[in-house]
């Protein structure tokens, strides 16, 4: 697999080794071209123009929605465009309390959630006097399913879990956990920020009521995200923002809402962003998610093997069987930000720090980790360069 040629950034930064894909991905030419095309050929507001140009823009926007729906095996009215995963989850934290049945007052998360799937729920819990609970992580960096079983009860209103841990790479057994949740009639939410674009996602098989992901982590633009919601559930939750196309009819005294999904898209949307995200999904689907998953898994296996050979490196990863293409690590006696600065000197872009999972870092007993994460354009050569640089850093600090 060699897809670097599709990404202009690698032409402009010839030596760049980009290993921060869990943070954001680079954009293929097709996506960049799509944004330019939108502005140069079909720029008009959507859904309300009678004229041809507006209809063209509307068609492209709707096509993107349909493409994204197919990408996760949903139907088009189940796809709401947002700004990001974070906005999708925040939206849910504001609207779901109105449909929580009597007697349910617990929200269940895991110990490895990103702040974006933790803080909104903390705020909801505070507003509505609910209780937060967390599924424990075992010492092998996977979730404790027995603990999940114990904590999912008839009191559980919401179970919101990350598909893949952005800090550890752990692929969580979300299907099993959501099955437990459904038996207790709890709402199920999947944070797919780290899995979308890296593995096949089927919302029906996973059994989630909601799913959130970001455009910019699947080779699309920033400022566009997706919230999937099961049709039956979307139909009964109230709108959150008011104005624009979310309205069917207005009088001076009230308003009638549009149907789903438009009911949840107030104001003029990020039209070119949604269309470009559709293009990114098309790009990913053309390569094939099975192929992408296999490729990233090979890089993961190779990198783990090579990194483990370096004495002084501590890896926080559940192993190839349970991991996506993300590796967190520390070099003995070296702060993660020093590792990242020194990698940067070798033109390797990686991430250091707590990765917006401060409670998880506390459990691990460390302030942070250095993290590399793979995408479709990474190669074994990139891993070789990484390993060489890590050996040099280790030698510099630990004299080996």
Partner 1 sequence: MNHNNFSERMYREHILELYRNPSNFGKMKNPTKKHTEHNSFCGDEITFYLKIKDGRIKDASFEGSGCVLSVVSSSMLAEKIRNMNISDVKKFGKKDLIDLLKIKISLARLKCVLLPLNAVVGALEKNA
The residues annotated with a catalytic role in the active site are 356
Distance of CA 371 to the CA centre of its chain: 16
Least distance between partner 1 and beta carbon 310 (Å): 17
140 or 345: CB nearest partner 1: 345
The rounded distance, in Å, linking the Cα atoms of 49 and 185 is 43
Residues near partner 1 (CB under 8 A): 15, 17, 335-338, 341-342, 345-347, 352-354, 358, 361, 367-368, 385, 388-389, 392, 396-397
Least distance between partner 1 and beta carbon 29 (Å): 25
133 or 391: CB nearest partner 1: 391
- For residue 383, report the phi and psi dihedrals to the nearest 5 degrees: -65, -40
The rounded distance, in Å, linking the Cα atoms of 219 and 262 is 25
Least distance between partner 1 and beta carbon 303 (Å): 16
113 or 272: CB nearest partner 1: 113
Would you report the helix, strand and coil content of the chain in percent, each value rounded to 5? 45, 20, 35
Least distance between partner 1 and beta carbon 353 (Å): 4
The rounded distance, in Å, linking the Cα atoms of 60 and 275 is 6
Helix (H) or strand (E) holding 147: helix 145-151
With H, G, I as helix, E, B as strand and everything else as coil, classify residue 225: strand
- For residue 220, report the phi and psi dihedrals to the nearest 5 degrees: -100, -175
The DSSP bridge pattern shows strands 131-135 and 106-110 to be parallel
Burial of 172 by CB count in 10 Å (0-12 exposed, 13-18 middle, 19+ buried)?
buried
- Structure token digits, residue 34: 């799509």
- Structure token digits, residue 363: 């459990």
18 or 81: CB nearest partner 1: 18
136 or 337: CB nearest partner 1: 337
Alpha helices in 211-288 (DSSP H): 231-236, 271-287
CB 56 within 8 A of CB 200: no
Least distance between partner 1 and beta carbon 117 (Å): 19
With H, G, I as helix, E, B as strand and everything else as coil, classify residue 387: helix
CB 273 within 8 A of CB 224: yes
CA atoms within 13 A on the CB side of 281: 26
Least distance between partner 1 and beta carbon 341 (Å): 6
The rounded distance, in Å, linking the Cα atoms of 400 and 391 is 8
176 or 338: CB nearest partner 1: 338
Least distance between partner 1 and beta carbon 312 (Å): 15
237 or 364: CB nearest partner 1: 364
């Amino acid at each position: 697999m060699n897809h670097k040629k599709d990404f202009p950034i690698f032409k402009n930064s010839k030596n760049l080794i980009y290993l921060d894909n869990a943070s954001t991905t680079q954009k293929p030419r097709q996506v960049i071209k799509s944004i330019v095309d939108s502005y140069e050929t079909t720029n008009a507001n959507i859904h309300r123009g009678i004229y041809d140009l507006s209809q063209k823009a509307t068609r492209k926007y709707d096509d993107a929605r349909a493409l994204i729906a197919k990408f996760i095996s949903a139907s088009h009215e189940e796809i709401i465009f947002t700004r990001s995963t974070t906005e999708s989850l925040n939206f849910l934290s504001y609207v779901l309390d109105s449909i929580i049945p009597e007697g349910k007052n617990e929200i269940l998360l895991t110990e490895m959630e990103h702040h974006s799937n933790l803080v909104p729920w903390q705020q909801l819990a505070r507003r509505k006097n609910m209780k937060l609970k967390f599924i424990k992580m075992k010492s092998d960096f996977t979730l404790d399913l027995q603990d999940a079983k114990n904590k999912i009860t008839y009191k559980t209103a919401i179970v919101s879990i990350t598909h893949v841990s952005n800090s550890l790479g752990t692929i969580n057994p979300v299907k099993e956990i959501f099955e437990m949740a459904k038996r207790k009639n709890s709402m199920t939410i999947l944070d797919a920020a780290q899995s979308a674009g890296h593995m096949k996602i089927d919302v029906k098989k996973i059994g989630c009521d909601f799913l959130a992901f970001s455009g910019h982590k699947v080779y699309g633009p920033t400022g566009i995200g997706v919230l999937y919601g099961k049709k039956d559930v979307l139909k009964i939750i109230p709108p959150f923002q008011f104005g624009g196309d979310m309205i069917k009819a207005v009088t001076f005294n009230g308003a009638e809402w549009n149907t789903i999904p438009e009911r949840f898209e107030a104001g003029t949307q990020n039209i070119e962003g949604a269309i470009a995200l559709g293009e990114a999904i098309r790009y990913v689907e053309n390569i094939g998610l099975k192929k992408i998953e296999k490729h990233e898994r090979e890089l993961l296996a190779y990198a783990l093997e090579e990194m483990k050979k370096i004495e002084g490196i501590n890896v926080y990863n559940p192993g190839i069987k349970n991991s996506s293409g993300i590796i967190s690590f520390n070099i003995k006696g070296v702060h993660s930000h020093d590792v990242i600065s020194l990698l940067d000197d070798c033109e390797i872009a990686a991430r250091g720090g707590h990765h917006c999972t401060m409670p998880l870092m506390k459990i691990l007993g460390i302030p942070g980790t250095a993290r590399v994460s793979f995408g479709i354009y990474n190669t074994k050569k990139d891993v070789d360069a990484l390993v060489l640089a890590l050996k040099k850093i280790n030698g510099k600090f630990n004299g080996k």
